[in-house]
Structure 1
């Protein structure tokens, strides 16, 4: 499971800090459960477990800050998908990996850093068919299970990687939304861009500075 996929085809892996130390985390949790309540050894075990949790949080935050800083530095307009994280967490095969990604924190950091740099984050509605729409001809497939990672458009015959295709659709969505907003607001001051977007499947679509 990738944290984000750019429309350029680049994949951004998440820190996976929890997964990396899962065995140690389980061992310390078992050790704590065996200690007598109120004992000095239990307090030591609790402190050791707390330090590991703090380390996991710090690793995750550090990785997310580096990634979001890089993306907002490189791209002006970033388009992402409003994922149904709660629904995704209901899948027992994906729940731990999704929780380890910190999608909400990733989105939060993107938003405020883009704002600080004069950029913007465009969020596509969760019902936007980013994965099911062909980024070449625009046809939308009725059904596409999560297990389908590669597919061929029956209308134009183009082979798609699911995430890259979705990211490209988000790139188109971000550009069209930005153009519409500019048309409504009229000519005014602000940062102007005349460059193509890249996009991420979280997804992120990004427009280079």
Structure 2
């Protein structure tokens, strides 16, 4: 059994988008308030605040008059946001990540729904407090007899909605063994060079995208911050960033898939790519 995630684009109705944006806003608010409370407790009293304490804080926040809107959205994404904050602190204390940052509205956001906060019926997803199913564009089918265990709704900075379905795949996905080993040398002028002498070049279409990005950022810097034109220019920059990210992800996914299917053993040198670029 393998745990996999399937990501799809979806286009919410105005009512669904209103509810989802309020949910993302509440998740962001709770995350930031809990992070501020944990930071303040440490600097003032040298006290570590965990998930249980922040969960109790959430209960008290919902009782406040100025925060009564927290009860209008599902409580599950709010609790999951606190769990994600706890994971971020665990990674920080283990030396695997930096100190958690506050979430910003312009970066979009995400909300995680567990089984108690959504319904899977006839191949459609019904989120809590939402009567209609999510209008998902099913670019591929889920494996047969697979039911999502967790759903994550995400809004990226350029305004695209996506949903990620986590399922337990019971199929046998093991590849047939092959008698071939290969070594990979990371490069700068080229993406990588294999021990067979094959060079895989960097994608060429990035030069055009970087030129568009430079012009869009230059236009953004001339706009008055907070104006409508500034908002339009910021979205244009975000869309170009998203296109670069999608192109890079697609290209690397195709290259790595080919390497895995054709080789049994892959050896990669242990180098810091950032140091090589410097």
Q: TM-score, normalised by structure 2?
A: 0.31
Looking at CA atoms only, which structure, 1 or 2, has the larger radius of gyration? 2
Q: Which has the higher contact order (CA 8 A, sep 6+)?
A: 1
Query: Comparing both structures, which one devotes a greater share of its residues to strand?
Result: 2
Q: TM-score, normalised by structure 1?
A: 0.41
